[in-house]
Amino acid sequence: MLKLSRLTDYAAVVMAQIARHPETPHAAAELAEAVQLPHPTVSKTLKMLVKAGLLVSQRGAQGGYRLARPASQITAADIIAAIEGPVAMTECSHAEGDCELAATCGVADNWQRVSLAMRTLLESVTLSHLADTSPIKLPLKMPIQSVSVSAATA
């Protein structure tokens, strides 16, 4: 099963909560209560999201966490990358030279196409979509034959 970590899921939940009220700075304790997650987990997630440049934090009485840019400009791929690292299906899908089987593999180009298609899909889902409580309408089929491997290196 291809599955994201719980921390990534929690990051999306926390980001969506902040996106629903972008004008207000959010304290870690308030966010933890609002999303019903343990405070230490929310704090750890917030630090990772700040480090990735998705949130900004401000100390003080009027401080808290805010989106670093509008929710429409933050993607699911951004959130995943902040917690998990680059979105890639296999090691060779995001970094060349890391595979001992590269010379005899025969499927690396196709895994790169799959990774690019997945990344493209995740980049099309914004935090605005995630924060909206109505279901996302996505294309039923994403043709990977139209995804060029050369686009991944461009």
Q: pLDDT of 51-70, one tens digit each?
A: 999 999 998 888 899 999 99
Q: pTM higher than 0.75, yes or no? A: yes
What share of the chain has pLDDT > 70, as a percent? 81
Looking at residue 120, its pLDDT comes to 86
Once rounded to an integer, what is the mean pLDDT over residues 116-122? 87
Residue 92 identity? C
Q: Is residue 8's pLDDT more than 50?
A: yes
Residue 95 has pLDDT above 90, yes or no: no
Average pLDDT in the 23-35 region? 95
Rounded CA-CA distance 106/111 in Å is: 10
Mean pLDDT of 122-131: 91
Query: Is the CA virtual torsion 134, 122, 49, 44 positive or negative?
Result: positive
Distance between CA atoms of residues 74 and 56, nearest Å = 13
Instruction: Work out the average pLDDT over 91-112.
Output: 70
Neighbours of 79 (CB within 10 A): 26
154: confidence class by pLDDT, cuts 50, 70, 90? very low
Supply the pLDDT for residue 93.
65
Buried b (16+ CB within 10 A) or exposed e, 16-27: bbbbeeeeebbe
